[in-house]
Structures are given as C-alpha cells and as structure tokens.
Amino acid sequence: MLPHLDPTTSAYSLENAYVLMRASQATYSLDRESYDGRLDELGMPNTNHKWIQSQFDACFVGWTDDWVILAFRGTANAGGWVSNIAASIPAARPRDYYGKIHPGFADALDVLWNELFAELSSPSHQGKKLFVTGHSRGGAIATLAAQSLYYRGIKPTAVYTFGAPRAGNSTFANRYDIAHHYRIENDRDIVPHVPPQPLFAHVGERYWIDPNGAISKSADAETPASPVILAALKASALPAAVAVGAPLLGGVVSQSPLASEFFTDHANTEYAHWLWNSLPEPAREDARSTPYP
C-alpha cells in the first residue's frame, strides 16, 4: 500500500509529492488493468475515477470522500511532441489567462476541459480538497488547468508538477493565482528548460533532485540555465526532434538521438524512484510492495 495523500495540508509534502507522482504515472498506463490497479493502490477503486481522453492528450479525475486528484498525461506520441516544439511562441488569450501562454498546451486543455470541468463541478465533489498534477507536458497542462479552475471558482489546494516545461510568459507567471504550486525537477532533465527564456517563465516553487538524489527547495524560482544543458538543447535536442520525429517524452527511454542522460533524467520512473528513496523508512517500506515501477 502506498503512503496516503494528506488533504489537510497545502504546504509542500514529500509524501504528497510521491503520491501525486504515482497518480501522474497512472496516466501512462498501457492497459486498463494497470490503470485500475495503480489507482486502486492510491485509494481510488474503479468506481471512483473518470478517464478523459482526446487524440493526443488525456487526464483522469479520481476521488475519495476527502480529496480529488486531477492528473494529466505527458507526451505519449508524435503529435504531442511536435506541438511542444512547433508552437513555441507565446500567444495572448485574454478571456482565459493573464499574459501569454503556450498555445499548444492551451489547445490540449481546451479539448479536455468540458468533461473535466463538469466532473469537478459535480455536487459530490463540493468541499473536497483538490490536487492538480502532471508529469512532462502534463505538468504544463496542469498549470494552465489550475489557473483556469481558479478563475471559475474551483481553487486547487496544491499543484505538483514533475519535469514540466514552461507554460506561459513572465506576465502569466507573475499573475499566476495558485499560491501552492510545487515544481519538482530532476538533475539534468532537459524538459524544464523549454520553451526557452525570455519568451517563457516558470511558475511555483522549485524543488530540485540533485545528482545524488537528494531533494531540496531551490533558491532559484526559475530553472537555472545550465550551460551544459543549454548547449545540448541547442546542438542536439531541437534539431533531432524536428528531423527524427518524436521520442516518447514521459516514457522510460527515448530510442532516438535524443536518448541521453538529459532525457533519462526526464523519465517518470526516475522521478518516482528518487521521491520514494527520500521517503522516511516506514512510508518507503509501505511503497516497496507495489507491483508497479
């Protein structure tokens, strides 16, 4: 059995981060049995969640008597990755967001929006604590979803994103209304460096997993511009993405010229491992018995 989500706190919690990373992993499930099993071990039997899917993106709303999780899937096909790269100029959508946002991520949310909003607006969820999460592209969509929900009177208790790209420009980031957004980034994960500054800016508090696996709050709210990563991004990642097509961001390993430690560090299994490794021993032992990596 996994550690339990604590809905009583909006502050950063390692246990909550781990549970929400596992919820994000469930969105990558390749079959219904794995999906149901992953959610069941999080305390959500198959009567307590709703799967929502478009051509390229997906999310689920899952719940107990005390809390609701909204989790978005990251990139899992070529179409999703191409929109990440090609639509890298921020665009204004004044009806929905302050400042400017990444139109590819906003379009992804738009297609999922009606179903997820209808579920979250259900009287059965009123008064429950809402946690919004996502890994990779799913983290960027989660960021926009949290802001959109806030506009419409549904205020998330906290947002946890893992290896997420930037979702909007500095005006969007400066006026982002979610007070408790925690952005976890793994060592040399290259994805938090895109889309690039200064056109885009991150939101929330940054928690960094260092080369030894230790997790700590970073003094830098923005992702530091590592010369090594930026050189790799410029010389290898973007040209390769355009020329080769799409590695499966969010998967374990990309089988393309992009396969490197920068993308290995982006794998959802890497995030789950280091969060698990940092849990106190009783919670780590509870999670050790899970059949899912």
Reported as a single tens digit per residue, the pLDDT across 24-61 is 999 999 899 999 999 998 989 888 999 999 988 999 99
Neighbours of 66 (CB within 10 A): 14
7 found inside a domain? no
Question: Confidence class of residue 200 from pLDDT cuts 50, 70 and 90?
Answer: very high
> For 92-128, how does the pLDDT look when each residue is reduced to its tens digit (9 = 90+)?
888 889 999 999 899 999 999 999 999 999 999 999 9
**Rounded (5°) CA angle 86-92-97:** 110
- Contact call for residues 289 and 114 (beta carbons, < 8 A): no
| CA-atom Rg of the chain in angstroms | 17
Q: Establish if 237 belongs to a structural domain.
A: yes
CATH code where residue 266 lies: 3.40.50.1820
Domain assignment of residue 9, yes or no:
no
Is 225 domain-assigned?
Answer: yes
Q: What is the pLDDT of residue 72?
A: 98
Q: Does 1 fall in a domain?
A: no
In a domain, 227, yes or no: yes
pLDDT at 193: 83
Number of domains in the chain: 1
- Say how many C-beta atoms besides its own lie within 10 A of residue 234's C-beta: 11
Going by DSSP bridges, is the β-strand pair 58-63/181-186 parallel, antiparallel, or unpaired? unpaired
Residue 90: inside a domain:
yes
Q: What is the pTM for the complete model shown? A: 0.87
Q: Identify whether 2 is part of a domain.
A: no
Domain limits for position 205: 14-288
Per-residue confidence band for 137, with pLDDT thresholds at 50, 70 and 90: very high
Q: Which of 182-196, 230-244, 278-292 has the lowest mean pLDDT?
A: 230-244
Residue in 147, 143, 185 with CA at minimum distance from that of residue 17: 185
pLDDT at 239 over 60: no
